[in-house]
């Protein structure tokens, strides 16, 4: 795209880029503070506002990344095959993010489970046999219901 610009036009475009990136950054900070309830108290603790703000910030950040790569780093002006050889591998990261956030969530659930198990009374040892006395064991499912 930049190839078609004259020298004067490309200088103008650089300052347009500066304004755009600075503006998006300010919007991001504003949305982030709003989502955390700093601008309007009523938004605090509302999960819809928090997740909505998070989603919006991620979209804006990805747009900033696109702008930097395509305009400042000129990837838009390179051969298509070259651009694809760089951009397509990045798609692997999309899966990485989804998989590891899922993994983190499941890890968190496991931590909670361990905390709940630790809160249970220990299994008693039968003095005659030296084995675990299963009759005295509280089943985990029951304890979690209670």
Partner 1 sequence: MAEVAEHKVDNTPAGEEWNGGAEPFKASYGKLMMWYFLLSDAFTFAGFLIAYGALRFSNPSWPEPDFVFQTAPFGIEGMPLIFVTFMSFLLIISSVTMVRGVQEGHRNNTSGTAFWMLLTIIGGLGFLGCQAWEWNNLINTEGMTALTNPFSRFEEGGQYVSAADLEKAGYVKTTKVLVEDAKPEDNIPAATYYLAPGTEDIKENRFFVKRDHHQMHAAMHGAHGDDHGGDHHGDDHGAADKAGTTFDASEPYLITYNGETKAYELGAYKSAGGEIKNESFGPKAFGGLFFFITGFHGFHVFSGLAFLTVIMINVLSGLYVERNNGHEMVEKIGLYWHFVDLVWVFVFLAFYLL
Helical (H) or strand (E) element with 106: helix 80-119
Residues 78-107 that bind partner 1 (CB under 8 A): 78-79, 81-82, 85-86, 89-90, 93, 96-97, 100-101, 103-105, 107
> Which one, of 53, 64, 69, lies nearest residue 22 by Cα?
64
Cβ atoms of 80 and 86 closer than 8 Å: no
At 77 the three-state DSSP class reads helix
Q: Does 54 bind partner 1 (CB under 8 A)?
A: yes
76 neighbors 2 (Cβ within 8 angstroms) = yes
Question: Contact positions toward partner 1, by CB under 8 A?
Answer: 3, 7, 10-11, 14-15, 17-18, 21-22, 25-26, 28-29, 32-33, 36, 38, 45, 54, 57-58, 61, 64-65, 68-69, 72-73, 78-79, 81-82, 85-86, 89-90, 93, 96-97, 100-101, 103-105, 107-108, 111-112
């Amino acid at each position: 795209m930049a190839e078609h610009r004259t020298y004067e036009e490309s200088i103008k475009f650089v300052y347009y880029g500066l304004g755009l990136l600075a503006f998006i950054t300010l919007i991001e900070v504003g949305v982030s503070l709003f989502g955390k309830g700093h601008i309007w108290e009523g938004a605090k603790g509302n999960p819809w506002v928090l997740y909505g703000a998070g989603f919006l910030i991620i979209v804006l950040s990805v747009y900033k990344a696109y702008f930097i790569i395509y305009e400042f780093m000129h990837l838009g002006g390179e051969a298509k095959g070259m651009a694809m050889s760089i951009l397509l591998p990045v798609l692997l990261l999309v899966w990485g993010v989804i998989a590891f956030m899922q993994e983190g969530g499941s890890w968190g659930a496991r931590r909670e489970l361990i905390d709940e198990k630790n809160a249970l009374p220990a299994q008693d040892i039968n003095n005659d046999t030296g084995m675990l006395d299963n009759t005295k064991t509280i089943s985990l499912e029951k304890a979690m219901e209670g």
